[in-house]
Structure 1
Amino acid sequence: MQSFYPSQIIEYLYCPRYTYFEYVLRIPQYEDKFYKVTRGREVHNEKLEQNKAYLRKKIGVKNKWVDQYLGVEGLRGKIDEVLELGDNSFAPLDYKFAYWKDRVYDTYKQQLYCYAVLIEENFHAKVNKGFLVYTRSKHKLIEVSIPPEAKKEIKASMEKMLVIIQQNKFPKATTFKKRCVNCTYRNICIK
């Protein structure tokens, strides 16, 4: 069974052709060349070291697991922090090497939705919300609601990705043409 990382599901949701180019044609992206990705990984590692003994009292954390690699059928990933909250629900917390700009980007939400699926199936607990920490804005903490429909969309996306791969199916491109401007596959994609 094919297993996806949250970043690959986010790419699919951004444009289904990412899945085709990456898995069917096996043309890799070279995202490690981008500064924010590399620096984000460095900040992530620094934060894990600094926060090992820190429970977030502000959000009612009873317990936490740091740097958790979790997997279920079709999905796997490493979560910065898995939090057990005072109401016995769980929540993912993710550090972002970014400034808070008064809105949560869809990609950040989708990543938390993927983590919610992983946490619910591995910890057998409800996940109703997640948290983002914007490290470039003095570690601003933002709460993000995780509705049941969002988790269903993640699972449906995984199934659609499998169809692309197993049937060698060339999907329709995103309807948002502005996304094509910075796409790593723009030079080989048939519009």
Structure 2
Amino acid sequence: MEAAQPFTVTDLKQHIYCQRISYFHLCLPDIRPVTRKMSIGIERHVDERKRAARRTMAMYGLTEGELLFDVDVTSSRLNLVGRLDQLVIAADELIVVDYKVASRHGKHQEVQLAAYAMMAEESYLLPAKRGFIYLTKAKKAVEIRISSQLRKIVESALQEMTVIQQTERMPQPTEWRQRCLDCEFRRFCNDV
């Protein structure tokens, strides 16, 4: 039996935001509209990487550690892959950092950060108890505790995604319909 294609951390984040987005990515992978907002995010990510290299460890409450950028992380246990914006390797912990072109963050981004932490732990064999979402518009790093609750959400969402992929059944739309306004799949839903 063939091993299942791993999910991406982006698919996981989108699943938390709206399960229909992960449905379209998983069940109709050839349909992938790119919005203006997505293109801008990609461009700004490159610029942010350059600025991040100049920052000190003090932002993370450390005096020393190793900074790695654009780190590919995987987990065979979770069947998950992704590319982490920044990883801080300290003597006794890992700190995952994800850049967001935003002035605030949401639960979907916290879950994404937790998934990165779980994969980094598997690869580097050190605990990742916290991470940071760096909000580029606000120019501030928000510390996120990688709690057992966030870890459970990651695992539960991955199970939901597996069911969606296997059954190819379209889930209900998000309760927060304002999210649909900028969605790349808005025209495919037909009921929002």
Aligned to 1:34: 36
- Pair 1:95-2:96 in alignment: no
In 2: Cα distance, 1:4 partner to 1:170 partner: 17
In 1: Cα distance, 2:140 partner to 2:186 partner: 35
Q: How many equivalent pairs are there?
A: 184
- Pair 1:161-2:161 in alignment: yes
1:121 counterpart letter in structure 2: E
The CA deviation string for residues 90-143 of structure 1, in whole angstroms up to 9 with x for no partner, is 1111222233xxx53223212211211211111122111111223333x32221
Residue aligned with 1:108, SS = helix
Q: 1:69: how far off? A: 0.8
Contact 1:2 1:162 in 2 (8 A): no
- Pair 1:46-2:51 in alignment: no
Residue aligned with 1:82, SS = strand
Alignment of 1:53-132 (within 5 A): 55-58=56-59, 59-60=61-62, 61-73=64-76, 74-85=79-90, 88-99=92-103, 103-132=104-133
- Pair 1:141-2:144 in alignment: no
CA RMSD of aligned residues (A): 2.3
Aligned to 1:179: 179
* TM-score, length basis structure 2: 0.81
Residue aligned with 1:136, SS = coil
Residue segments in structure 1 that go unaligned for 5+ positions in a row: none
Q: 1:161: how far off? A: 0.8
Contact 2:69 2:84 in 1 (8 A): yes
What is the aligned-residue identity percentage? Answer: 24
1:62 counterpart letter in structure 2: G
* TM-score, length basis structure 1: 0.82
In 2: Cα distance, 1:156 partner to 1:25 partner: 22
1:172 counterpart letter in structure 2: Q
Q: 1:15: how far off? A: 1.9
